[in-house]
Structure 1
Amino acid sequence: MSHNETISDWFEKYGNDIYHFLIYKVGPTDAEDLLQEVFIKALKGFKRFKRNSSPKTWLFSIARNVAIDEARKRKSRKWSNTVPLDKTYEPSTDLSPEAILDFNEDTQEIYQCIQKLKANYQDVLILRGIKELSIQESAKILKWSENKVKTTHYRAKIALNEELRRCAYEESESPRAAR
């Protein structure tokens, strides 16, 4: 099997998972472009792929790095324009039906709360809680020890619960909720 065929096969197997990971990291408007970038990087770096990890964890590592790079670009654009970026998700009219379904109200609320957490908490919540990767897979992707994955995941769940409660409280106190 050629490199192209292998990467194409991996895209079929893992593309959806990588796409959803990227949605949680960067939002739905950039996720498709970044998904393509992940698989282009995988194709270019295929010779460097060490078979001591699964293709899935390798691809998630690439996706995580691509998302980090995107966050850096956004941050530099933010400072160069001196206009704060709006971190809330605004639905786009050009989203696919699947993306619209994926972003129902509950998912959007969780997404927004996850975005308010520290980057390490975001990573571990998405990998362990949403993508349901094992501790070992998450540790390889994040380049952490398994104990750090466990501890950070535990702390991230507590932080997310607190953020969800805060969001629910703010929503119940807003003028719209009184109508």
Structure 2
Amino acid sequence: MTHEDTLTTWFHHYSDDVYNFLIYYVGHGDVEDMVQEVFIKALNHIDTFKHESKPKTWLFSIARNVAIDHMRKKKRNRNKESKLIQHKQTVNEKSPEDIYQLSETRKEVYQAMRCLKKNYYEVLLLRGIQELSVEETAGVLDWSQNKVKVTFHRAMKALKKQLGGVT
């Protein structure tokens, strides 16, 4: 199987997951170009994939870096005007149309997550929303598994506090 065939298979299996991850990460629906960039980078660097993790984990790592780069460019090009308010969308359903049908509770949780520290937000996104394992999350974030567990626990406490719940 050629590298192109491998990436085509991965695209069919994981493009929706990468799309949803990027929606959560950057907070808006215009991520199609970013998904393409993820798979182009994956194709260009497929020789570095060591099969020590699942392809999905490797693609999420690339997607995270693409999202960070995107956000840095956006930050340079814009002032920090009402950025949190613009992050009302979330994706947990199968289609973008479903984004707008989310309950108020989910929107509130997502907005509360966006107010947390970056590390907390990332671990909640990967473990809680994308449902990656501790091992997969550690691979994406380049953390130890213990750090993932501790940070996830602390992030959940911080999220509950942010939402006005009992810690």
TM-score between the two structures when normalised by the length of structure 1: 0.80
Matched residue type, 1:123? E
SS of equivalent to 2:163:
helix
Question: 1:141 corresponds to which residue?
Answer: 140
Question: 2:57 corresponds to which residue?
Answer: 57
Higher-Rg structure is 1
- Structure 2 CA distance for aligned equivalents of residues 24 and 70 of structure 1: 13
SS of equivalent to 2:30:
helix
Q: After the TM superposition, which residues 1-179 of structure 1 pair with which residues of structure 2 at under 5 Å, given as runs?
A: 1-78=1-78, 82=79, 84-89=81-86, 98-103=95-100, 104-105=102-103, 106-165=105-164
Q: Unaligned stretches of 5+ in structure 1? A: 167-179
The answer to whether the Cα contact below 8 Å between 2:112 and 2:162 also exists between their aligned partners in 1 is: yes
SS of equivalent to 1:71:
helix
Report deviation, 1:64. Answer: 0.8
Query: How many residue pairs end up in the alignment?
Result: 159
Instruction: Name the one with the larger helix percent.
Output: 1
The answer to whether the Cα contact below 8 Å between 2:49 and 2:58 also exists between their aligned partners in 1 is: yes
Deviations 1:2-27 (A, max 9, x none): 21221111111111111111111102
Coordinate RMSD, CA, aligned? 2.2
TM-score between the two structures when normalised by the length of structure 2: 0.85
Q: Identity of aligned pairs, percent?
A: 48
Report deviation, 1:85. Answer: 4.6
- Structure 2 CA distance for aligned equivalents of residues 67 and 83 of structure 1: 17
Matched residue type, 1:156? A
- Structure 2 CA distance for aligned equivalents of residues 62 and 99 of structure 1: 22
Query: Judging changes above 3 Å, is the alpha-carbon distance between structure 1 residues 5 and 107 closer, same or farther for their aligned structure 2 residues?
Result: farther
